Amino acid sequence: MQIFIGGIGCFWDETEYQDVPGIISTECGYCGGKNPTVSYEQVCGGDTEHIEVVKVTFDPEIISYEDITRLFFKIHDPTTLNRQGPNVGYQYRSEIFYTNDDEKKSAEKILDEVNKELNGKVVTVIRKEKNYCKAEEYHQKYFEKRNKR
C-alpha cells in the first residue's frame, strides 16, 4: 500500500476519493505545521502552519501515485491562493505532501503538466510531509455521518 497526502481547502473533500478503483481508505488530517499535534480550532486560528488534508491509502498495483495526483488537481481549483470556495486563509492552500523522492518527482511532473494546461497559474505547493496528524473523529467521514441522521 502507498499513501498520498493532499490539501485542497477542506478535508471533507475526502468523498471525492470514494469509489475510485485502487483507493483503499481516506483519513482527514492536518499537515505541514510547526507542531506534531494540533486541534481543528488551532488550525482554524491560522497560526499553526498546518492545513486540512486528506491522507489517501491506495494500492499502486491498481492506481498510480501520478493518477491520484491528477485526481487531486481535478477536484479543486489549483489557481486560487489560500482559498477554496468559501474557505479562505493560509490553512486552505493547495498543497501536496510527499514522503520520498519518487513521490516528489511524480507530483512535480503532474503539477508541471497541469500548470501548462492552466497557462502557468497553478499555485499548488509541493513539500515534504511534516507533522501529519489525524483530525478529530467527528471530521472523519463527515458527510457520511451527517447524511445518516
Based on the residue annotation, tell me whether 10 is a catalytic residue of this protein.
yes
Q: Which residues have CB under 8 Å from 138's CB, separation 6+?
A: 145
Q: Which of 10, 28, 31, 44 is catalytic?
A: 10
Beta bridge partners of 27: 55
C-alpha cell at 109: 511532473
Rounded-to-integer distance, Cα 11 and Cα 92, Å: 9
Q: What 8-state DSSP symbol labels residue 92?
A: G
Beta bridge partners of 126: 96
Of 5, 2, 1, the residue nearest 134 (C-alpha): 5
- The length of the chain is 149
Active site residues: 10
